Amino acid sequence: DTAVSQTPKYLVTQMGNDKSIKCEQNLGHDTMYWYKQDSKKFLKIMFSYNNKELIINETVPNRFSPKSPDKAHLNLHINSLELGDSAVYFCASSQYRGDTEAFFGQGTRLTVV
Amino acid sequence: EDQVTQSPEALRLQEGESSSLNCSYTVSGLRGLFWYRQDPGKGPEFLFTLYSAGEEKEKERLKATLTKKESFLHITAPKPEDSATYLCAVSMAGGTSYGKLTFGQGTILTVHP
C-alpha cells in the first residue's frame, strides 16, 4: 500500500495546454508539499499545505495553482504550459511542518513539447 | 541567504572502500538536517534526521554526523547496492522559511564491484 502516490507518473503535453497532477497520502500526515526537480536533479520546494491551509508559496509563476480538498490530498494544476515547465514534480508529506522527515511520492515526469 | 552545499558532486568507490560525503550549510536557525537517498526514477527516501551538533545516527553501512556548520555521511565498506544520489536537506526554524526543506544538489555515489 503506497504511502504517497502521485498520478500520472508520466505526462507529455503540448505548450499552452492545462494539466493537473494528483497526490494522495495515507499516512495521516498534516503537511503536504510539492517539489520540482530540474534536469540537474536540484530539488526545490514550490508549495506546502498544512491541514488544507497554504503555508509556503515560493516564487512560482501564477500558472501553477495547488489545491488541497482535504488533508490527505494535494493537487497541482498548471495552466498554459511552457517548455521550461518540463521537470519531475514530487509530492511529499510529513507529520508536522519541517520537524519530521518527509515521505516522497514516485514523481511525475512532465515533458512539454 | 540560506544555502546547502554538498560535495563532492560525484564519487566513485570500489566495493569495500569507505568514504564520506559532505553537506555544509549556512542557515539562520537550524531546526533539523535530513539525509535522503534517491534511486533513478524514484522519489527521495528518508535516511536520517539530525537535530543538534554532536548528534550521530547509524543505519547499516551508513553513519551521519552533525556539527554547527556541516554534516557528514560516512559509508563503511560500501556495496554496489549503495549506489544512488544522496541528498542533504535542512529545515529552518521560524520566519517565512519555517516548514520547508532546502536541499543541496546531491552527491552521486557509484560503487563498483
- pLDDT band at residue A58 using 50, 70 and 90 as cut-offs: confident
Q: Categorise residue B13: left if φ over 0, alpha if ψ from -120 to 50, beta otherwise.
A: beta
A31 to chain B, closest Cα gap in Å: 9
Q: Which residues of B touch A (CB under 8 A)?
A: 31-32, 34, 36, 38, 41-46, 49, 85, 87, 89, 91-92, 98-103, 105-106
Specify the pLDDT at position B101: 86
Q: Given an 8 Å threshold on Cβ–Cβ distance, is A99 in contact with B103?
A: no
Which residues of chain B make contact with A44, given a CB cutoff of 8 A?
Answer: 103
Q: Which residue has the cell 568514504?
A: B19
Q: What is the pairing mode between strands A108-112 and A10-13?
A: parallel
B94 to chain A, closest Cα gap in Å: 10
Specify the pLDDT at position A26: 96
Share the mean pLDDT of chain A.
Answer: 92
Specify the pLDDT at position A96: 79
A49 to chain B, closest Cα gap in Å: 10
Higher pLDDT, B12 or A53: B12
Which chain A residue has the Cα nearest residue B44?
A104
- pLDDT band at residue A43 using 50, 70 and 90 as cut-offs: very high
Q: Given an 8 Å threshold on Cβ–Cβ distance, is B99 in contact with A56?
A: yes
Which residues of chain B make contact with A40, given a CB cutoff of 8 A?
Answer: 105
Residues A9-40 pLDDT 10s:
999 999 999 999 999 999 999 999 999 999 88
Most confident of the following: A54-68, A93-107, B74-88:
B74-88
- pLDDT band at residue A79 using 50, 70 and 90 as cut-offs: very high
Which chain B residue has the Cα nearest residue A5?
B43
Whether pLDDT at A105 is above 80: yes
- pLDDT band at residue A56 using 50, 70 and 90 as cut-offs: confident
Count of pairs with CB atoms under 8 A, one residue in A, one in B: 63
CB-based contacts of A59, cutoff 8 Å, min separation 6: none
- pLDDT band at residue A57 using 50, 70 and 90 as cut-offs: confident
The whole-number mean pLDDT for each consecutive block of 10 residues of chain B, a chain of 113 residues, reads 89 98 90 94 95 95 96 98 96 71 94 97
Specify the pLDDT at position B49: 94
Whether pLDDT at A65 is above 90: yes
Whether pLDDT at A90 is above 90: yes
Specify the pLDDT at position A52: 84
Separation in Å, CA B108 to CA A14, A68, B21, B40, B87: 32, 34, 10, 11, 9
Whether pLDDT at A98 is above 70: no
Compare CB distances from B99 to A4, A31, A101 and report the shortest one's residue: A31
Interface test with B, best of A39, A41, A97 (most B CBs within 10 A): A41
Q: Given an 8 Å threshold on Cβ–Cβ distance, is A98 in contact with B100?
A: yes
Separation in Å, CA B11 to CA A6, B42, B56, B70, B85: 31, 20, 22, 18, 10
